[in-house]
Amino acid sequence: MADGARLSNDPLMPGAIAVLAEDVGVKKANQDMVTLFGLAVLGGAFIALGGLFATVTIAGAADFLPYGLTRLLMGVTFSLGLILVVIAGAQLFTSDTLMVMAWASGRLTTRRMLRVWITVWTGNFVGAVGTALLVFLAGHYASGHAEVGSTALYLASSKSKLAPQHAFFLGILCNVLVCLAVWVSMAAQTTSGKILAIQFPITAFVAAGFEHCVANMFFIPYGLLIKWGAPQSFWAAAGIDAAAVDIPLGLFALNLGAVTLGNWVGGTLLVGSVYWVLFRRNQASGAPKQIE
């Protein structure tokens, strides 16, 4: 029994992960709309909590720590978001791009796959923006003598003003790492193993400054809420002129579109499609009937 228990904890090999990724995609596509949307709202909220944790962690750090170390700390703490998605259970648009593997094997129709992606993206938006609103209403931005709010404003402003082409390619790079984090977590057979598998790729994408659409659904709206609604006492404590803070609403929409498209390319074409070609292309003819 002891040997059997030990063997059951051995990680899955890549070929087995590919089969599991397809099975997970089919299972997700078979959920009813209420469940699918509810899990997507949770996914957006979980990523927002990771974003909040990261914001608090680096608040005020720029004056004392090197850039690289600050980004490393931000990545380690932001990993909370995907850990909650995978372990607690939620739907995330970026990792759901791996569903393309089940589609390529003929197990999902295009309509069903697109329905999942659109529903999950929308639910993620609701969950992330809703969390940003809750955090704002709690007055959390005033924490640390307004350092938390100042950091949130900086993140929102810098992300919203990224050139679209840069946001697109940063989005590609981001979701390669996010999907690899999910892929490796599927290999792990224990909760601790899954957490460890997620930690390094997510820390890497944040430390490198790559762009995640669901994270930006929190970071930029939270900055906008502070800019629009923070009292004068906050601005005085932060030593910032509110009029000088530039977070263009139109550029937020442009950023979100570019990053979403980049995330889609990174997940579907550079991870899901590549692994399907390597491990599943010869099994596609024997795949189960499509889910309509």
Tokens of 280: 């599943």
Tokens of 204: 């890497």
Distances in Å between the Cα of 197 and the Cα atoms of 74, 104, 174 are 17, 26, 16
Exposure string over 137-169, b if 16+ CB within 10 A, otherwise e:
eeebbbeeebbbbbbbbbbbbebbebeeeebbb
Q: Tell me the pLDDT tens digit for each residue of 112-135.
A: 999 999 999 999 999 999 999 999
> Could you count the other beta carbons within 10 Å of the beta carbon of residue 34?
8
Give the per-residue pLDDT at 63. Answer: 81
| pTM attached to this predicted model | 0.93
Angle at 212 between CA 208 and CA 213, to 5 degrees: 155
Superfamily of domain 12-285: Glycerol uptake facilitator protein. (1.20.1080.10)
Give the per-residue pLDDT at 262. Answer: 98
For the chain, what are the domain ranges? Answer: 12-285
pLDDT at 286 over 50: no
Q: How far apart are CA 245 and CA 112, in angstroms?
A: 42
Range of weakest confidence among 10-14, 71-75, 85-89, 177-181 = 10-14
Q: Tell me what percent of the residues of the chain surpass a pLDDT of 90.
A: 89
pLDDT at 284 over 70: no
Average pLDDT, stretch 79-93? 97
DSSP E strands in the chain: the ranges are none
Give the per-residue pLDDT at 2. Answer: 39
First and final C-alpha spacing in the chain: 43
Distances in Å between the Cα of 108 and the Cα atoms of 37, 244, 280 are 19, 50, 15
Q: Tell me the pLDDT tens digit for each residue of 138-188.
A: 999 999 999 999 999 999 999 999 999 999 999 999 999 999 999 999 999
Give the per-residue pLDDT at 136. Answer: 98
Give the per-residue pLDDT at 16. Answer: 95
Give the per-residue pLDDT at 221. Answer: 97
pLDDT at 292 over 60: no
Q: How far apart are CA 259 and CA 167, in angstroms?
A: 5
Q: How far apart are CA 114 and CA 111, in angstroms?
A: 5
pLDDT at 83 over 90: yes
Amino acid letter, residue 259: V
Q: Tell me the pLDDT tens digit for each residue of 205-260.
A: 999 999 999 999 999 999 999 999 999 999 999 999 999 999 988 899 999 999 99
